[in-house]
Structure 1
Amino acid sequence: MPKSINGSVQLSVADARLTLTGRLDIGVVGRLDPHAILAQGQGQGVSVLDIAGLSQIDTAGAWFLLDLERRIATRGGSIAIEGASAVQAQLIERVRANLAPDDIPPPPRKSPVDHLEEFGRKTASAGRKSVELISFLGQTVATIAGIVVHPKRLRLTSLVHHCQEVGLNAVPIVALMAFLIGVVLAFQGSAQLRQFGAEVFVVDLIAISILRELGILLTAIIVAGRSGSAFTAAIGSMKMREEIDAMRTLGLDPVTILVVPRVLALMIMLPALGLIADVSGLVGGALMSWIELGVSPAVFQSRLVSNTDVWHFGVGMIKAPFFALIIGIIGCYEGMMVGGDAESLGRMTSTSVVLSIFMVIVMDALFSIFFAVVGV
């Protein structure tokens, strides 16, 4: 006698045949228990699954039947699906053809030659990208030179807007970051210098570290993550919507309209942000030195002025425009490379941030070597 296993499908077992009747679709499959069906069928030696009584079956139902067949085969048995109409049989075979294989072979192990080939491909790709970036840099510099000759080409409104986005809106996070870095330097420096009775030298530690390196470097890293990614996302979105192609169709230069204002805004505002970071870092260091070591603000200021060369500040400010140029060029270039899908936009935005930060650190290392060689 048929046993109802769901409101829409009934099951009966007789003469080694497991018979399903009713409707087997996605609304029913989710409420079926294959383990209970298998237990009932295998308990009576079922070898045939009769679906002639199924009035309706969809891809979910076909998958359920094939899943029963697979489960029985896994347990060492076998079952044949019979009674399907021509349409049902075609659907079952189509689903069977698209099922994932039970045993997915492991990927072949790469030989040393394969690793060498992969390294060569990545090296060649990095070389091509480097050439493209240098070409894009040259195009941007040439466009800026043309604007210097013909100032009317400068998009002043766009420049002011990006100065606000890149500079003014970034002041709180940059100031807070630098203040906390100054606090950490003073706290850790005092803990080490106290062992030698040289607590007063914490002023020199803070001043040189922040003015020469950390102030502008960490500011550039924050700007790369904040503004560089924004450049890539904005230009990439326009590329996806084919707005850049429309500009070229109208005879407008995307580099002049989109790239130059962003790069110039960064080159103008990053030194200002670096100055704010330096001041905030010194304030944080002075505050922690006062709390931890008893170095009063007056003593801190006196030692800062007398023992800190102005070139420490100058070195940091010299780096700022170069860092800004790197961040702006990479951010805009990656935006121009975005394809027609959202996945490309996300990938290029991530690449922009990582590459910008990496190149900023590399440039900072080169500057450090250069200034060490020239004795500054």
Structure 2
Amino acid sequence: MIWKKVLLMALGMTVAIALGTLTELKGIAQTPTDLDLAAYHAPIHYQDTDSTKYSSDYITRFNYDGDWRGTNNWDNLTAYPLNAYAYYSVAETCTHRFITYSFFHPQDWTDTPFDQEHENDLEGLLAIVRKDGSTYGKLEGVVTVFHTDFYSFTPSTSPLTNGSESIDGTLTLSSYNGSLHPLTTQEAKGHGLKAWPYAGNFDGNSSADGIIYYPSTTTAEVPASGNDRSVLYSLIDVFASGGLWQNQLNQASSSTGITYANWGTFRGDSSGGCGAGLPTCSNNSANTPWGWDDSNDGAVYRGEMALDPAHLTDVYFNGLGNFDTTYIRNRYIQDLRDRGYNSSNLPLGWPSQINLNTLSGKLKTQC
């Protein structure tokens, strides 16, 4: 009988330990995939459209026409369906995750005389997410790309305050699919992006042309018209095999790449009618997140929104509290180092203000 008591005691201890472990795990946040993290915080996106040429304001992916050639995206606009996509990437420090989102248009266009057009257009935002112990963290602010200027916006409950740059407005959040999403908006034609409703003239009202895009992990819809109020856009990882970033790395030392003219800049020309009539057409004028630049933000340099978002955040804002500026994950820096790029072997067109060896030194293996 003694052995039975010992066995029951052992079983009881095992159950108690298991229950205790489960209790402890309840307080530990699960680690989300990058896709789930991006989807949780992805913008509900208000795209202003112009009735002169609705389709030129539809968001899509760079290779919507089945190839990675940058010089035929303007030309092929009406020949292929414009399923809705947005690109994302995630970098991580011990205190924050930084998510870039970018929306691609094949044409940056105008119907105004003496204005300028260009092939390809990619503008977006940086989402600053504090790791607060919850699974997905808390969104503290965004910095958006409006042509050659950046604008920052924070939710009403954010601790962030003005840093070297002033906060430009309040970020509105709306519930969708079980989480709060920032509302963003883009102009028609030129596609400058800000928090809603600070750009364009479409805020969802029935009297203006526009599309409201909602994020999805699986579905990329084509708008029914330039006045569609519910279109799903699918999220694409910038680092996906054969995608935007891999093509950049493959063409980083070439001046003849079909996708990129140089570091962070898409190749684009005047074929297909770009600049037809009185507008002019500017070649090689659209930039990627690692090529985005604000023209007057001081010690934040071209491409840092993707390459070094913690530094950009540290400059733009105060009120950051406990804030880490080195990375336990930053695929941009890691891949450049793995490809053998350093301060003595730079990609063609690399910004001179950024020391690549110093950037690589911001990687670490653990907190």
Structure richer in strand, relative to its length: 2
Larger relative CO (CA 8 A, sep 6+): 1 or 2? Answer: 2
Q: Flag whether TM exceeds 0.5 (same fold).
A: no
The structure with the largest alpha-carbon Rg is: 1
TM-score tier by shorter-chain length is under 0.3
Task: Report the structure, 1 or 2, having the larger helix content.
Answer: 1
